[in-house]
């Protein structure tokens, strides 16, 4: 969840001083900033002719183009990659399973990050100004929070689904049904939406930070100040599902190891057809669990540094430099582009689905019944 903390506090104060007192401007040619004299003509504002405008600290042309390329590529990859995942699962009937519906819903959250969050954050990060209005600033922050929490709730339910599939693969289809998957998806989206909109539109996160919020308010800024109590709540909403995922996947890999040893010990013995079928199902479920476990690890590596930094900032007076904050934020955004790459690397069915989609064969009659999972 993007939280633009107390960055630019001194700069903003200087901006108001320089823009609101016209008589001062007529008689002074320089202003003081962090102990240095800066020519007033060198100060760039987000809105040159607006009183109370935020200070603009743009990059030079070369770095700016490079950043637009890097950030823009991430957004395009998040949109196209997750769109391929969604299309594959919804179009091909063979992929219509409760577990895959969870993956499609997760891909939808990542797709929305690429569509509604990353492009606007890209402009904010490169230009150091928010040009999209105060109302959309709140929407943007809400969307950021919704898709973050929605993703981690989905990953938590996916880990539970994989645990059931690996521990008892033959009974699994009767326990994790389409209706159960639907309830998990609805819970993930509903809780994320209600929590994010409640937080940002009640302004409860700003309690006790009124002076800071007032000082940070300037035209062309999109700052969200979060007090210590709400930072802890945010962290718990991430930490608890994370703890569940780590615990569940630890058990999954222990069980998978035991199953592998059992299969190896029986390899030189005559196995019944039912045992052979059970082994094949167990092997397939273990492979799926491994792939999704990698997706969970990628999510945690991307998001935990950001949330840890949020706690440190809230309790130590917002000490994180702006450039460090931006790096942490974009690492979290890039997580939305990583899952399709993980699926493409580990899932043969996804690679085959991509080929059919890209070549236009999905528009052929009965393409939805194509076999993507050959035994």
Contact criterion met (CB below 8 Å) for 155 and 245 = yes
Give the pTM: 0.79
Contact criterion met (CB below 8 Å) for 9 and 16 = no
Please give the pLDDT value at position 225. 72
Please give the pLDDT value at position 284. 60
Give one DSSP letter per residue of 334-359, joined into a string: HHHHHHHHHHHHH-HHHHHHHHHHHT
Please give the pLDDT value at position 25. 32
Please give the pLDDT value at position 37. 43
pLDDT along the chain (375 residues), means of 10: 39 35 33 40 78 85 93 95 94 91 94 94 91 88 90 90 83 89 96 88 73 78 78 85 87 74 59 53 63 80 84 76 86 90 82 90 88 72
State the Cα–Cα distance between residues 134 and 140, nearest whole angstrom.
10
Please give the pLDDT value at position 103. 92
Please give the pLDDT value at position 270. 52
State the Cα–Cα distance between residues 25 and 48, nearest whole angstrom.
14
Domain assignments of the chain as residue spans, ordered by start = 59-359
The C-alpha torsion from 203 through 204 and 206 to 211, rounded to 10°, is 90
Per-residue CA distances from 129 to 218, 297, 304 (Å): 10, 33, 26
Contacts by residues 11-16 (CB-CB < 8 Å, ≥ 24 positions apart): 11/54, 11/55, 11/57, 12/54, 12/55, 12/215, 12/216, 12/218, 12/221, 13/215, 14/43, 14/55, 15/43, 15/45, 15/52, 15/53, 15/54, 15/55, 15/218, 16/51, 16/52, 16/218
Question: Structurally, what CATH architecture does the domain formed by 59-359 represent?
Answer: Up-down Bundle (1.20)
Please give the pLDDT value at position 42. 60
What is the separation of C-alpha 198 from the centre of its chain, rounded to a whole number of angstroms? 20
Please give the pLDDT value at position 34. 36
Tokens representing 1 are 């969840």
β-strand pairing of 30-33 with 36-39 = antiparallel
């Amino acid at each position: 969840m993007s939280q633009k903390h107390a960055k630019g506090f001194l700069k903003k104060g200087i901006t108001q001083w320089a823009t609101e007192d016209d008589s001062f401007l007529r008689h002074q040619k320089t202003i003081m900033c962090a102990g240095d004299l800066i020519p007033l003509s060198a100060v760039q504002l987000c809105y040159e002719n607006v009183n109370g405008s935020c200070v603009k600290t743009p990059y030079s042309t070369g770095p700016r183009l490079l950043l637009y390329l890097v950030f823009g590529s991430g957004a395009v990859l998040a949109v196209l990659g997750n769109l391929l995942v969604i299309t594959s699962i919804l179009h091909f009937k063979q992929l219509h399973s409760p577990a895959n519906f969870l993956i499609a819903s997760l891909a939808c959250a990542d797709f929305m990050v690429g569509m509604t969050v990353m492009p606007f954050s890209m402009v904010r990060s490169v230009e150091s100004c928010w040009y999209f209005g105060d109302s959309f600033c709140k929407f943007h922050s809400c969307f950021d929070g919704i898709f973050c929490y929605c993703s981690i709730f989905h990953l938590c339910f996916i880990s539970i689904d994989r645990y059931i599939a690996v521990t008892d693969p033959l009974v699994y289809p009767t326990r994790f049904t389409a209706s159960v998957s639907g309830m998990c998806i609805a819970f993930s989206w509903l809780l994320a939406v209600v929590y994010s909109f409640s937080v940002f539109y009640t302004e409860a996160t700003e309690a006790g930070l009124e002076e800071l919020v007032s000082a940070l308010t300037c035209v062309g800024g999109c700052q969200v100040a979060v007090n210590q109590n709400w930072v802890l709540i945010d962290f718990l909403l991430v930490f608890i599902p994370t703890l569940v995922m780590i615990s569940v996947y630890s058990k999954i890999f222990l069980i998978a190891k035991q199953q592998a040893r059992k299969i190896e010990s029986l390899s030189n013995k005559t196995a019944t057809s039912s045992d052979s079928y059970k082994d094949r199902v167990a092997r397939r479920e273990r492979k799926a669990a491994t792939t999704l476990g990698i997706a969970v690890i990628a999510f945690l590596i991307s998001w935990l540094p950001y949330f840890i930094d949020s706690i440190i900032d809230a309790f130590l007076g917002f000490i994180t430099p702006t450039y460090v904050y931006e790096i942490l934020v974009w690492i979290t955004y890039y997580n939305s582009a990583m899952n399709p790459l993980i699926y493409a690397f580990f899932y043969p069915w996804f690679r085959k689905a991509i080929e059919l989609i890209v070549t236009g064969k999905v528009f052929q009659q009965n393409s939805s019944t194509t076999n993507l999972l050959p035994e």
